[in-house]
Amino acid sequence: MNQGKYVFSQIMEHLPYYQFSQCVKRYRGDYRIRGLTCLEQFLAMAFGQLTYRESLRDVVICLNSQKSKLYHLGFRSSITRSTLARMNERKDWRIYRDFAKVLIGQARKLYTDDKEFDLNLRGTAYVIDSTTIELCLNIFQWARLLKVRAAVRLHLQLDLQGNIPSFFDITTGKVHDVNFLDMIIIESGAYYIMDRGYLDFERLYRIHQSGAFFVTRAKKNFAFKRLYSNKVDKNAGIRCDQIIRLTNYQVAKKYPDKLRRIKYFDQETNKFFVFLTNDFNIDAKIVADLYKYRWQIELFFKWIKQHLKIKAFWGYSENAVKTQICIALCVYLLVAIINKRLNIDRNLYEILQILSVAQLDKSPLGKLISENDLYIQEQDSQKQANLWDFK
C-alpha cells in the first residue's frame, strides 16, 4: 500500500507554484511545449542538487531507475539526458532567476526575527560582494576572462538578518564588481557594506543621495582634508574619527559632500583599518563591527561552493550555466524556508546531508530531519555553526 508522500515531494510542496507559473509565462517557457515542462526541468535539476549528482546523465539514471515513483515526484513526461540538456541550453535562465527572487522574498520574511545579527541599527544591513567561478576555457569560450582563463562571476547582496541573499546577478568574469552597484535598487535607511573593490565615489554618492548609508575601506592613496575630529575611545580600538572632505578635483566633483573617516586597530589581526562612511551619527565602533560582518558573505560563498553544485556544470552554454546557478540558489533558499517553517533546530549543512540520502523515503519531513543524529567532527561543526546555526 502506498502510504505517505516521498521526501522529495514534501520538499517541493513548499514551492509557490503560482509564482513559478508566472515566471514561466513571463518568458514563454512552456510555449508550444512537447516534452518536459519548465517545472519538470526545475524538479530534475533540484533533485540533482539535493542528492549531489555529478552530471545530467547521473541525474537521469537515478530518476529513471525509479520509474514507478516519478509520477508521485511530480514528473509527467519521460526524462532523457538529451531533453534535459536541450532545455538547459534553450529555456531562458531568467525564469529561474525571477523565481529565486520570489523565494528570497519568502525567506527574508521568515528570518526577520533572526537573532544572529545583533547590532542595533535603524535600517537593514546588506553586504555586497562577488565570487568568481573558474571554468575551462576550451569548453566555455563565451566566458573568456584572460588568454588562458574563463570564469563567471556571481554578484550578490546578502541580508545580514538571517544571511539570506536579497539580490544577485550572474555575469562573465570580465564584468567588474563595481558595476553591480548600478543594478541595485537602493533602500532608504539601509546600510551597504563593501570592500575596496566597490570604492567608486560617484556610485557612493548615489547611495548617499538615496538616503542610505555605506561602509567601506579607504584606499591608501586617496587625498582628503580633515575638517574636524570627534572624541574617540582608544580602549575600543578607535584611533581617530574624522570628518573629511575629498580634495582631488575630479573625485570631489563625484562626491562633493563630507565623509566620515575612522581608523581602527583590530587586536585579533594586529592590523589597522581605515573606514569611510556617510553616517555621522552611529558610534565609530559599530562602523568597525559592521565591516567585520562583511566576512559573512565570504563564508556564504564558501558554503554554497562546497555544498551545492555550482563548480562542476552540467551544460556548456551561458544559459545552461546560469540556469544551474539559479536553481542551486533556489534549492538553498527552499531548504532555508523549510528550516524556519518546520522550526527545525539544525543548521543547513546537516539538513542537506540528511536530505541527500532520503529523497525517496516516506518519513514525515520534520520528523526525518529532527530525529536523525549526525556525527560531525567537532572542528567542522563549530565552523558551520558560526554562520549556519539558525535558531
Whether the CB-CB separation of 113 and 98 falls below 8 Å is answered with no
C-beta separation of 193 from 127 below 8 A: yes
Q: What is the mean pLDDT of residues 71-88?
A: 93
Task: Please give the average per-residue pLDDT across 144-170, as a whole number.
Answer: 91
**DSSP assignment string, 107-144:** HHHHTTT--S-----SS-EEEEEEEEEEE-TTT-GGGE
The model's pLDDT over 261-318, given as tens digits with 9 standing for 90+, comes to 999 999 888 999 999 999 999 999 999 999 999 999 999 999 999 889 888 899 999 9
pLDDT in tens, 186-217: 999 999 999 999 999 999 999 999 999 999 99
Q: Over 90: is that where the pLDDT of 7 sits?
A: yes
Task: Give the integer Cα–Cα distance in Å for 204 and 182.
Answer: 11
Q: How far apart are CA 120 and CA 117, in angstroms?
A: 9
- pLDDT band for position 225 (cuts 50, 70, 90): very high
Residue 343 lies in a domain: yes
DSSP-derived letter for residue 4 is: S
CB 347 within 8 A of CB 20: no
Tell me the average pLDDT across 322-350: 92
Mean pLDDT of 131-139: 91
Q: Is the pLDDT of residue 134 over 50?
A: yes
- For residues 204 and 289, membership in a common domain is answered with yes
Q: Residue 148 pLDDT more than 90?
A: no
Percent of the chain exceeding pLDDT 90 equals 75
**Cα–Cα distance for residue pair 95/93, rounded to 1 Å:** 5
Percent of the chain at pLDDT exceeding 70: 94
Secondary structure class of 87 (helix, strand, coil): helix
**pLDDT for position 374:** 52
Let me know if residue 36 belongs to a domain.
Answer: yes
Q: How many domains does the chain have?
A: 2
- 152, part of any domain: no
Three cell numbers, residue 345: 533546530
pLDDT of 3: 63
* Residue 186 covered by a domain: no
Task: Look at residue 382 in the predicted model and tell me its pLDDT.
Answer: 43
- Asked whether residue 127 is assigned to any structural domain, the reply reads no
Cα–Cα dist 196/216, whole Å: 6
Distances (CA, A) of 179 to 131, 171, 184, 198, 351: 14, 10, 10, 9, 35
* End position of a domain, from candidates 260, 293, 326: 293
For 359-387, what is the mean pLDDT?
Answer: 65
Q: What end-to-end distance do the CA atoms of the chain give, in Å?
A: 38
Whose CA is closest to 307, among 245, 246, 337, 352?
352
Q: Quick count: other Cβ atoms within 10 Å of Cβ 106?
A: 20
Say which DSSP state 235 is in.
G
- Using only C-alpha atoms, what is the Rg of the chain? 23
Band of the pLDDT at 381, cuts 50, 70, 90?
very low
269/334 same-domain check: no
* Distance between CA atoms of residues 15 and 320, nearest Å: 22
Residues 21 and 84 in one domain: yes
Residue 252 forms part of a structural domain: yes
What DSSP state is assigned to residue 180?
G
Domain span holding position 281 = 195-293
Q: Which secondary structure element, helix H or strand E, spans residue 348, and what is its range?
A: helix 348-356
162 or 2: which carries more pLDDT confidence? 162
Residue 39 in any domain: the answer is: yes
Residue 129 has pLDDT above 90, yes or no: yes
Q: In terms of Cα–Cα distance, which of 291, 300, 294 is closest to 388?
A: 300
Whether pLDDT at 32 is above 90: no
Mean pLDDT in the chain?
A: 90
Q: Is the pLDDT of residue 218 over 70?
A: yes
289, 320: one domain:
no
pTM higher than 0.75:
yes
Do 275 and 329 fall within a single domain?
no
Considering the domain architecture, whether residues 69 and 25 belong to the same structural domain is answered as yes
